Structure 1
């Protein structure tokens, strides 16, 4: 008996399409590579020739400056990692429960609750009432809770989850009720397992919010051991900018010292340090992230 091996021939159009997509991927990757290479380029070369893909020399002086001159940066990393993990978990839990409630047609006052949530997207009390509420009434001052609770529920993310949950088949909830399950058990055992795409999407959004935040440290944190990574790096860049401007105005070190501050290279190095963990996390949830966004856009 003759066996037929059905191998598909790749068409020229498919080859061209793959080449175009590969080129676009490399094009989008180019800025990241430029920042990475720039962070490894000596400050003198950046000042003279700018940042390029092919520097004459490479050095880790920018990273050495950040870690040696700022001993608390590893502690700030730990604070930000803890706040990101705990804050994201708490925020996703509360946001998903809120979205589930306002997505149920059987909830009597769901429209009123949704209105109050939506109202906060349009109107806010302002920075001073927000600060007074968090400090005077909630006691969020110089603690890790001050870096978590103020961003715990985002109204936009709640409505994003609500638009996904309200399109789930009602028969699934009814089957849970017939089996004697309560609303919380239906939420945990039925609604959440089939809502992984939108949960992954909202999780990524919350992770970015907590990871990139430095305003909360600026407003609420006084102890050095509770400062977040972003605020710590912000202070490093502010100090370098001040020293550079003072040196340019003749107020800094004398010209005979010929001290060159690693201003630009440290800027690029801080960018790499801040985006690194997110870059490693994103590929694991990319599939669910894209699916959650597209389903919400088509069905919402």
Structure 2
């Protein structure tokens, strides 16, 4: 499919939906603060000074301020080891003034990232990265969704995408994106296929997708000639050059709905993080309802 073909797909505007969710979150945060006298608080933990991570954390803290959510930032040296990081997160987990905890990843190859994630108290895991949160997503129990998959589900719902009985293909199997995305889709009665770097004849699987979630981390890896006509395409990739995992021009000529990069999944990830922070604060304060 030529990239010059006129696009036929409708855009799934994550930026617009994120603004709407952000306004709702700000209203809930203000109401909770008025009832309890304490604003929701998100603690961010950053190891080292990776420029992209510093930018992401700053963006999240700015969004917190706009939503009436306090932010507490913990900056640790790049050589911080697993034990120190676990202790730091454990302290935040025990702090009643903190309602949500975000560990910015990656944290460096010398740190056991999984051990650090598991130090987050489940009731404060607003980024949905712990084993407890994954189990809750998988079993339909109360908990927090991983933020990017959770944001994807909000987008699909907003655009009235029918999932029950549909074939969803997830390309990617990371613990905080691909795997939980599949579990959330399965919970909505979609038939889910996971694909990854060792999948044989990937194109054949992608061609069967009614809903495609691209989360492989490779720029323009998937193209329009691999898609089922009318498929819903969610591009959760973000690569150098502001491009996603899907070749947008060729895919937009075949899909019925598609997310842009940027402006699709990314804004919904942060909006979901803030919404879940207010959820956590509400539960921890006993002010639900």
Q: Identify which of structures 1 and 2 has the higher relative contact order when contacts are C-alpha pairs closer than 8 Å and 6+ apart.
A: 1
Q: TM-score range, shorter-chain basis? A: under 0.3
TM-score, normalisation: structure 1: 0.21
TM-score, normalisation: structure 2: 0.21
Q: Which has the higher helix share?
A: 1
Q: Which has the higher strand share?
A: 2
